[in-house]
Structure 1
Amino acid sequence: MDYRKLGRTDLNVSALCLGTMTWGEQNSQDEAFSQIARAKKAGINFIDTAEMYPVPPRPETYASTERYIGNWFQAQGDRADWILASKVAGPGNGISHIRDGQLKHNHEHIVAALDASLKRLQTDWIDLYQLHWPERSTNFFGKLGYQHQEESFTPLEETLEVLDEQVKAGKIRHIGLSNETPWGTMRFLQLAESRGWPRAVSIQNPYNLLNRSFEVGLAEVSIREQCGLLAYSPLAFGMLSGKYENGARPSNGRLTLFSRFTRYSNPQTIAACSRYVALAREHGLDPAQMALAFVTQQPFVTSNIIGATSLEQLESNLGSFELKLSEEVLAGIEAIHKDQPNPAP
């Protein structure tokens, strides 16, 4: 396993990060524990969660993921071995069960969310605390175009000020962004540097063969500002594994179980995905491992967030780290991308 600097910090995170979004919905606590143990054995030291997990968010399963991780720390006593990331939710997105749904990135909500996460995680600190998505209306969660709205949202200054307070209190070590835009990222960085507040060390946005929109604008920001990408959905909810080819719907697949996830099911996405799967097989590669290897090797990526619902899937995902894509494979990927760019933003 390789390790990479997290922003300008002294933390070195594994090139693969253990994602936990399914724990508490598709995975039991015992299964989560097995995944943590296997990831640790492989050299992963980075684990990512959020107050709203598992996904899809439901009142009945709310915060189960953080509880599982906290129970692991309590049972194993290895909290210090991990770089732990979590997130505070933003408004909307069908989560009225979290703090009555009136979510803001203000002092009240950030402190309440952070304190609750610390309690569930059974730890005194979170290494990387992220804003899960912007409070303002902008283009994220599959929206490419920007339509300006005059609206009231928590000033970014207030958000950074309360995060600074929590860093000084020792509750969090560093801050990160998620589902952010180039404007939002640069504004957060500029404010932090001008006011002496915590500087974002990472951006957690979607990035995969079907959605390379991060490369437009944000990739340059990540490299020049040392605010690297934590890539989520690197397999596009499993589409790039090939398991949904020819209309297949495996009984335990997320796209089978949850009809709300339509981001990767449009005709253009299905057509492009089939070409990527065929390219991998043409070169004797596992399609999922090819897709993951492509993400991990990008120069603006700090860590690639892998998720699995079984140990077999996790084993395959871990194996992607050893795969180095040939120039021929990379050329094939670029040819497909040129013909069908970003069909699933």
Structure 2
Amino acid sequence: MKTLTLGKTGLTVSELCLGTMTWGTQNSEAEGHAQADMALEAGVNFWDTAEMYPVNPVRAETVGRTEEIIGSWLAARGGRDRIVLATKVAGKGQVIRPGEPISGAVLRAACEASLKRLRTDYIDLYQLHWPNRGSYHFRQSWRYAPAGIDKAAETDSMTDILTTAQALVAEGKIRAIGLSNESTWGAARWLHLAETLGLPRMGSVQNEYSLLCRQFDTDWAELSVIEDMPLLAFSPLATGLLSGKYAGDVIPEGSRRSLNPDLSGRITARVFPAVAAYLGVAARHGLDPCQMAIAFCRTRPFPTIPIIGATSLEQLKTNIGAAGITLSSEVLEDIAETHRAHPRPY
């Protein structure tokens, strides 16, 4: 497993990141611990979670449970310095603090609550799960209208958050900060404020990216490269669609789709032809489709770390195996042609 420097954060992380959002719903505590053991043994030292996890569904009675499972693993196994741990503060509109935007005070309270659940003294990468002003992610781009945004108010809010982050860094509670579900304007504004005010710099962004969802390929790609802000690519398998397990519009028992039938808007009339095309690419080149999809993310011209998740050890083993896959120029050209034929399936 290769290791990489995460942008300008100073953190050294594995080339794949372990996603944990099913721990506490689709996966039990014991299963979460088994996944953690397998990942670390394979060299995956970078793990991602959030205060609102687990998902499918997000419920008030389960929020924080994933962090608790990671905390119990740390208590049982020790060796906090063996892993680079990322978590997130939830944005407004979620079951945690519904309607309340992220502020400096919210950031501090949420961070300290996460530290207790994780049973650790520090968080390596602390991310804002959503921008306060809203976003175009999760299929919201179809009706996105960035109207009524008060630039001065946004600037004041961002400054408040960065000032608190600076204090949390000074106290040793977080090492770096990052973004999630953010836009290029938002990221540029965060970077500008950090530079001009001498405040902590947003080090990474966690946005959706896969063969089926390539919003990052244009303006975001430019910003990512020039500013050295790596993409932590969530859903690189498009919530399992690219594995082929839903081909033919089936819903396997116990799958994510059995809990979320439209996969948060990803099930459309266009998606299954696109999936079939990518499965065809993998078959023609003798590749596992999951490994091909994950390995593709690592080929991008901008710094990318795919976040891999699984509900079984067998799935996790396959996904980790993508780290050893090098896609040939023929495969990449086949993927490019497929993308042109199926540019935006959801």
Instruction: Report the counterpart of residue 129 of structure 1 in structure 2.
Output: 126
Match of 1:106 among 93, 103, 109: 103
Could you tell me how far apart the structure 2 residues matched to 1:276 and 1:149 are?
37
User: How do 1:188-227 residues align onto structure 2 when only pairs under 5 Å count?
Assistant: 188-227=190-229
Tell me: CA distance 1:85–1:37, structure 2 relative to 1, closer, same or farther (3 Å). Answer: same
What secondary structure, in the 3-state scheme, does the structure 1 residue paired with 2:326 have?
A: coil
Secondary structure of 1:288 counterpart: helix
8 Å CA contact 2:229, 2:303 repeated in 1 = no
Which sits farther off after the overlay, 64-73 or 136-145?
Answer: 136-145
Any runs of at least 4 consecutive aligned residues in structure 1 with deviations exceeding 4 A, and if so which? 151-154
Query: What is aligned with 2:81?
Result: 80
Once the two structures are TM-superposed, the CA of residue 9 in structure 1 deviates from its matched residue by 2.8
Q: Residues 104 and 162 of structure 2 are in contact (CA less than 8 Å); yes or no, is this contact kept in structure 1?
A: no
Q: Which residue of 2 aligns with 1:69?
A: 70
The answer to whether the Cα contact below 8 Å between 1:251 and 1:257 also exists between their aligned partners in 2 is no
Report SS of the residue matched to 2:248: helix
Q: Deviations over 1:139-194 (max 9, x none)?
A: 22222254123257652111211111211121101000001100001110011011
Matches within 5 A, 1:268-287: 268-287=270-289
1:339 corresponding residue in structure 2: 341
Match of 1:140 in 2: 137
CA offsets 1:233-269 (integer angstroms, 9 cap, x no match): 0000000001111122211210122236232210112
Which of the residues 233, 236, 261 maps onto 2:235?
233
Partner in structure 2 of residue 48 of structure 1? 48
Q: CA deviation at 1:342?
A: 2.5
- Which shows bigger deviation, 324-333 or 256-265? 256-265
What residue ranges of structure 2 are gaps of 5+ in the alignment?
none
* 1:98-153 Cα deviation digits (max 9, x unpaired): 13x13221122111111100000001100000000111033222222541232576
Q: Which of 314, 322, 325 matches 2:324?
A: 322
The residue that corresponds to 2:11 in the other structure is 11
Contact 2:4 2:13 in 1 (8 A): yes
Partner in structure 1 of residue 39 of structure 2: 39
Q: Could you tell me how far apart the structure 2 residues matched to 1:144 and 1:84 are?
A: 30
User: What root-mean-square deviation, in Å, do the aligned CA atoms of Structure 1 and Structure 2 show?
Assistant: 1.4
Aligned residue-pair number: 340
Pick from 158, 161, 167: which aligns with 1:156?
Answer: 158
Change (3 A) 1:327 1:176: same
What letter matches 2:117 in structure 1?
Answer: R
Cα offset, 1:57, TM superposition: 0.8
- 2:146 and 2:201 map into 1 onto residues whose CA distance is 26
- Note the C-alpha offset of 1:64: 0.6
Q: Which moved more, 1:323-332 or 1:256-265?
A: 256-265
Q: What's the TM-score, normalizing by structure 1?
A: 0.95
Aligned mates of 1:302, 1:265 — CA distance in 2: 25
Alpha-carbon shift at residue 313 of structure 1 (Å): 0.1
Match of 1:90 in 2: 91
TM-score normalised by structure 2 residue count: 0.95
Deviates more, 1:235-244 or 1:301-310: 301-310
Aligned equivalents of 2:137 and 2:238: distance in 1? 15
Q: Deviations over 1:285-316 (max 9, x none)?
A: 11111111101222323421000000000010
AA of the residue aligned to 1:184: G
CA distance 1:104–1:260, change in 2 (3 Å)? farther
Moved more, 122-131 or 248-257: 248-257
The residue that corresponds to 1:257 in the other structure is 259
Work out the CA distance in 2 between the residues paired with 1:127 and 1:86.
8
The percentage of counterpart residues that share the same residue type is 48
Partner of 2:17, secondary structure, is strand
